[in-house]
Amino acid sequence: MAMPVTDEGPESKSARTRKRILDAAAYTLSRKGYADTRLSDVAERAELQAPAIYYYFPSRDDLVEEVMWSGIAEMREHISEILDTMPEATPPIERIMVAVGAHLRHELEISDYTTAAIRNAGQVPEKIRARQIAEEAAYGQVWKQLFQDAAEAGDLSDHLDLRAARMLTLGALNWASEWWTPSAGPLDVVVHTAQTIIRSGLSGAADPSTVDI
């Protein structure tokens, strides 16, 4: 029979140390990127000796892999929970706007894990991206349902390709991690601007078929 875990128990202390290492890795990855993240940086942030990290993670890539997966998993859970609390009568387009705001806030303000996962997705070796890719697919299903519901409700322009619209929306949201910092202006302004542009584009305020390219 397993012994209960207490605040003072060794298992609890181990779990706290492991979380401290992950938090430090997420912070470092989100700011320095995969190529420039060193275990010594992570250890310094976690207030540990670098060799201690190997007790919890066999390699640097195992640590990075956990951070990358966690970043997308956390965001999917965060946004799903927010959407689940909204009244059933909420128009689908408004649910998309809420998801836009929640995505940006989680990516840019709430979670170093999510910032790290988004910013490093194209940098880490493919072999350590498997779990993250699977989680990205699950998160994509959340957005796919949002767009399908909005289209069925007549909230979206008939001129849109739903997949292209969804991918362009997510791409724009993710790119914010490359240019936004608190010194660039209030996050509230970024969220409002993104919601305004995306609402206008999705609802078809301007018919793209009339644009002469």
Confidence check: pLDDT of 207 > 70: no
Confidence check: pLDDT of 4 > 50: no
Average pLDDT, the chain: 90
| DSSP output for 91-132 | -HHHHHHHHHHHHHHIIIII-HHHHHHHHTTTTS-GGG-HHH
pTM: 0.87
Summarised one tens digit per residue, pLDDT across range 8-57 is 555 688 999 999 999 999 999 999 999 999 999 999 999 999 999 999 99
CB 191 within 8 A of CB 104: yes
Give start and end residues of each alpha helix (H) in the chain: 10-32, 39-46, 60-84, 92-105, 112-119, 130-152, 162-179, 187-203
CB 134 within 8 A of CB 86: no
CATH topology of domain 65-205: Tetracycline Repressor; domain 2 (1.10.357)
Please count the other Cβ atoms lying within 10 Å of the Cβ belonging to residue 116.
28
Residue 207 main-chain phi, psi, to 5 deg: -70, 115
